[in-house]
Amino acid sequence: MRDLLRFEPLYQERVWGGRALESALGRKLPENQPIGESWEIVDRPEAQSVVRAGHHAGQTLHNVLAKHAADVMGPKWPVGRPFPLLVKWLDCRERLSLQVHPPAAVAAELQGEPKTENWYIAHTTSDAHLLVGLKRGITREQFERAISEGTLESCIHHFRVAAGDSILVQSGQVHAIDAGNLILEIQQNSDTTYRVYDWGRVGLDGQPRRLHVAESLRSIQWNDFEPAPVRAAPTSGVIADCAEFSIRRVVLGAGERLTIGAGEQPRLLSVVSGTVRCGGEGSTGSRAPFGQALVRGENVLLPYAGAFTFAAESTAILLVTEHFT
């Protein structure tokens, strides 16, 4: 398999969502629903990405991997193993719950899944913040007291963000996304979230959403103080590097190109600004012209066996996710 894989988005209704995926990314959304998430690339029992075009159109990501694991993921990839990452857009019209994902050792104990994730801020309002980690010196005892007193926000590290900023949120870091952020989240393939506080909000059914205080207290890393974001920059560079994946920002000027070689590793390509056109070695082995446009908001899987070149029409910013096998 030498063709890049593009998938149909899976839109998720969320009480804190809005319509920014429509206004900012030009998506056609389900009507009259607050859409908080678009699952762009996912391979889970409850949610499957479906290839939207090309030779494998209509097939799920799981089925593609079952048939072409070596071509997509490399010769050492075990047949039947799910795709290890989940890519989603988040439209945070309102603030999300204060939450934590369990570290690997704790996840096994709680029958959950670890979830390290990276947030890239594609758009934000002038007063939007992120909440990640504890304020310096906060203890578990102070945190628990703040839960009972309803003052938990005072324990959490806040910082203002701008478009182009990003931060790696490790399993065990308590966090929340503030209202007014449009975020590309690249994460481990997990859907385990423990809510420790929800700002007194009710869900779409009008009832308070379930909290997971005991699980959260078991999962929080109590020595994690005031992590710093990676600020926006006009140059290429690594913005996230962890055991589960790495992400590099690639800035292309008009006419500049990014080339991805065949037989190296599978990669994800995310267009967070501008438009690029793809050329490469097609499934017949011939060199494809620069015809296929990838616009802002698109996320594609570049198989191990494929070679690709992306040319920018004007200034473009790409995220290349790799080292996840």
Active site members: 195
Sign of CA dihedral 22, 26, 31, 36: negative
- Tokens representing 65 are 């991997």
d(Cα 71, Cα 140) in Å, to the nearest integer? 48
> Hey, which residues does 269 pair with through a beta bridge?
300, 320
Identity of residue 129: H
DSSP 2-17: -S-EEB--EEEEEEEE
Non-local (6+) Cβ contacts of 121 within 8 A are 161, 162, 163, 164, 165, 166, 181, 182, 183
Considering just the CA atoms, what is the radius of gyration of the chain in Å? 20
Contact between 232 and 255 under an 8 Å Cβ cutoff? The reply is no
Helix and strand numbers (H, E) in the chain are 5, 23
Specify the 3-state DSSP secondary structure of 20.
Answer: helix
Alpha carbon distance 28, 52 (integer Å): 15
Nearest one of 185, 133, 138 to 159, comparing CA atoms? 133
Distance between CA 105 and CA 122 in Å, rounded?
Answer: 33
Q: Cα–Cα distance between 18 and 291 in angstroms, integer?
A: 33
| CA–CA distance, 216 with 210 (Å, rounded to integer) | 12
